[in-house]
Amino acid sequence: MRGYAGQFLEIDLSNRNIKETKFPDEVLRDYIGGRGLAVKILWDRLGKKWETVEPLSSENILFVLTGPFTGYFPGTKVCVSGKSPQSNGVIGSTVAGEFGVDLKCAGYDGLIITGKAEKPCYIFICDNQVAIKDALPIWGKKARETIRFLVKKSIEEIKDVRLNYGEVKDPSILYIGPAGENKTRVAAVVAKYAHGAGYGGYGGVMGAKNLKAIVAKGFGPVPDVYDKEKTLNMVKDFSEWSFERENFRRWGTGGGGYYFGAETSSEPVRNWQNEWHDKESYKREEFDKYWVKRYWGDFGCPTTCLKLAVLKTGRYKGAICDNPDYELEAYLGTNLGIFTPEENIYLSYVSNELGLCGIQGGAVLGFAAELYEKGILTKEDLDGIELEWANVEAFAALAERVAFRKGIGDILAEGVYRAALKLGKMKGVDLLKYAVHEKGVAIGAHGVRSEEDFIAENIAYACSVQGGDHTSSASLPFDQGGGELSSILSDSAVFCIFASFGIEDIDKFNFYEAITGWKLTKREWYKKKAPRILHLQRAMVLLGGPDVKWTPILDDDNPPRFWEPLPSGPYKGKTLDRKMFEEARLEYFCAAGWNENGVPKPETLRRLGLEDVEAKLREADLIR
């Protein structure tokens, strides 16, 4: 087996039991790693009782998985997964950083974490020494303090083992902030202050396991590949391709804050009441003024699209974050009526420190602000906070309440969809029309109404098995390359979609073969292997439970707001055409092998070897 370390760690936090485990080659060949493998294991272990598994309980399984590309493909990520407390299905959520490399260098392809620790803990991995350690000193602490503590302590411990080694380099860390500890559904699993696996809500899953962090340090090499020369030559080609995209490297996604508003009318503005703005103050050159590092990247990355922003003066002096990248420019900026880089950087910093997902957290703040604007939520409801648009201090104060589940924050911590249900019940009004989500997942900052965004398709979110996740959106044609089946490849082989923009599928499959020595054809992937993973995800999101359950076709729709016409800008009056949407959705269902309601057909499931899924869907009365 090449490209893999060859073993995984299973850590049962309830019994403090740690063991190494392997998967047969056939399983790795079919499901690769990352998202695909997490989906497979979840189905095998929890599928039968899926509806009863509470995501925020000890019953859930948390996955941190690499893929064969980890450590080789330029730009390294690791995939976090489990039963999602947002969609109640499965989401493959990736986060950048060196963690995946350190894990593989330590000799493991991934972590499968079960149970719940009695007391706050963190997992420490240094090569084959794996321990569950006390996290009480950092429980309740924010990002910077958490990182400082863990780096210092871990280096001391490594030095005790590696005598005379010389300076020990910092280990890699995945952690949660207070938002995760308090089991909010809007918490990310975070690395390096500003990198988060946000979609899915796995920060809360870590919190529910009393797991504050995972520290990994590997002293070994990245596992050998099948064809070293070919692999390294391809890495060189991929890197050179990235080097040529100087515009993207120079500005990252930081230009999006202006571009997606002014040019494509697809940026959330004031809780998606609009998607257009043309605020010059939000141009990339204005953000550049705060960048102390114009190129910031992770292991092996040729793109280094991140920037490091620091506020050196002013009211928010000391705030530090990445660019912010486009999603945060939008969700912690325009979506809250904020159009100045300084305030956006500050709120991103606040969100990072609390361990909130910038998208899910920003969405719920915007949602609350619209309710305040409409008089549905009052100052009293908000513990005295005057939640006017652009009131940065108010948003920061509310974010803190969300992360600590204080006052109204306890409800908002449930994310936009569940908060809309709860508050709607309390207030006796329908609030779902203000909740911009798809299957419980707040939608990425790429609107579909103007049909000008690169995720423009009307079915992008409605038909996705990862709901609002803009990095895994559905598109037509279903199985010809692109769309969600491609996202499954990047999340399973585990590589960065940014560093791989423009790289042909054929090269990805060749790269896979060079690394693993296993042949994978485009046809095999798009006709069988990827659809199999997609169908498992579709089945699990439809099964849902225990607190929410989506109705096929009814819930395979855009949120109500996306059916409202855009109120201003060059695309004023534009919205999606209902008939065209329904036609596209039906075409997608048919192409995927689902019936007219979006339920996988028995013959499709059998063709993919998923007879047990068929049986389960029959039992749940989804297949009749």
For other proteins, give the closer residue by CB, 248 or 563. 248
Strand partners, 125: 130, 216
Q: Read off the tokens for 347.
A: 């709120």
Bridge partners, residue 305, by sequence: 296
Q: How crowded is residue 244: how many other Cβ atoms within 10 Å of its Cβ? A: 12
Q: Which is nearer to other proteins, 5 or 610 (CB)?
A: 5
Q: How far is the CB of 222 from other proteins (least distance, A)?
A: 4
| Tokens of residue 268, six digits | 């959330």
CB of 196 to other proteins, least distance (A): 13
How is residue 19 annotated by DSSP? Answer: E
Pick the closer one to other proteins by CB: 239 or 340. 239
Are residues 61 and 113 in contact, defined by beta-carbon separation less than 8 angstroms? yes
Q: Give 298 or 469: the residue with its C-beta nearer to other proteins.
A: 298
Q: Which residues are CB-neighbours of 352 under 8 A, at least 6 positions away? A: 143, 177, 190, 193, 194, 196, 321, 358
Query: In this complex, which beta carbon is closest to other proteins, that of residue 71 or of residue 92?
Result: 71
> Cβ of residue 213: shortest distance to other proteins, in angstroms?
14
Amino acid at 31: Y
Return the number of the residue (262 or 301) whose C-beta is nearest other proteins: 301
Q: How far is the CB of 304 from other proteins (least distance, A)?
A: 4
DSSP letters, 48-66, are GGGGG--TTSTTS-EEEE-
Q: Quick one: CA dihedral 277, 280, 281, 286, positive or negative?
A: positive
Of 295 and 518, nearer to other proteins (C-beta) is 295
The neighbour count for residue 19, using CB atoms within 10 Å, is 12
Query: Residues 6 or more apart from 542 whose CB is under 8 A from it?
Result: 89, 550, 552, 599, 617, 620, 622
Min dist. Cβ of residue 74 to other proteins (A):
8
Q: Which is nearer to other proteins, 302 or 366 (CB)?
A: 302
Smallest distance from other proteins to CB 308, Å: 5
The minimum distance between CB 8 and other proteins, in angstroms, equals 21
| Cis before 324? omega within 30 | yes
Rounded Cα gap, residues 516 and 381, in angstroms: 57
User: What 3-state class would DSSP assign to 445?
Assistant: coil
Least Å from the CB of residue 287 to other proteins = 16
18-21-23 Cα angle (round to 5): 155
Exposure on the CB side of residue 521, measured as CA atoms within 13 A: 4
Residue 546 CB, nearest distance to other proteins (Å)? 38
Query: CB-hemisphere CA count at 13 Å for 424?
Result: 14
Reported as type and span, the H/E element at residue 213 is strand 211-217
- CB closer to other proteins, 193 vs 563: 193
Beta strands, E only, 415-539? 437-438, 441-442
Beta carbon nearer to other proteins, 431 or 494: 494
- Residue 166: CB minimum distance to other proteins, A: 3
Task: Tell me the CA distances in angstroms from 532 to 209, 538, 613, one per residue in order.
Answer: 30, 10, 11
Q: Which is nearer to other proteins, 104 or 183 (CB)?
A: 104
Q: Which is nearer to other proteins, 321 or 403 (by Cβ)? A: 321
Give the orientation angle of helix 392-403 with respect to helix 341-354, to 10 degrees.
Answer: 10
Point out which residues pair with 20 in neighbouring strands: 9
Minimum distance from residue 310 beta carbon to other proteins (Å): 8
Q: Where are the beta strands (DSSP E) in 82-153?
A: 93-96, 110-114, 121-126, 129-134
Which residues lie near other proteins (CB under 8 A)? 71-72, 98, 101, 105, 144, 147-148, 162, 164-167, 169-170, 192-194, 218-222, 224, 228, 232, 239-240, 243, 246, 292-293, 295-302, 304, 308, 320
Q: Are 251 and 528 in contact (CB under 8 A)?
A: no
Backbone angles phi and psi of 212, in degrees to 5 = -80, -35
CB 112 within 8 A of CB 21: yes
Minimal distance in Å, beta carbon 306 to other proteins?
8
Give just the sign of the alpha carbon dihedral 378, 381, 387, 393.
positive
Compare residues 296 and 417 and give the one whose CB is closer to other proteins.
Answer: 296
Q: Which residues partner with 131 through β-bridges?
A: 124
Q: How far is the CB of 200 from other proteins (least distance, A)?
A: 23
Closest to other proteins by CB, 240 vs 430, is: 240
| List of E strands, 480-565 | none
Q: Least separation, in Å, of the C-beta of 349 and other proteins?
A: 12
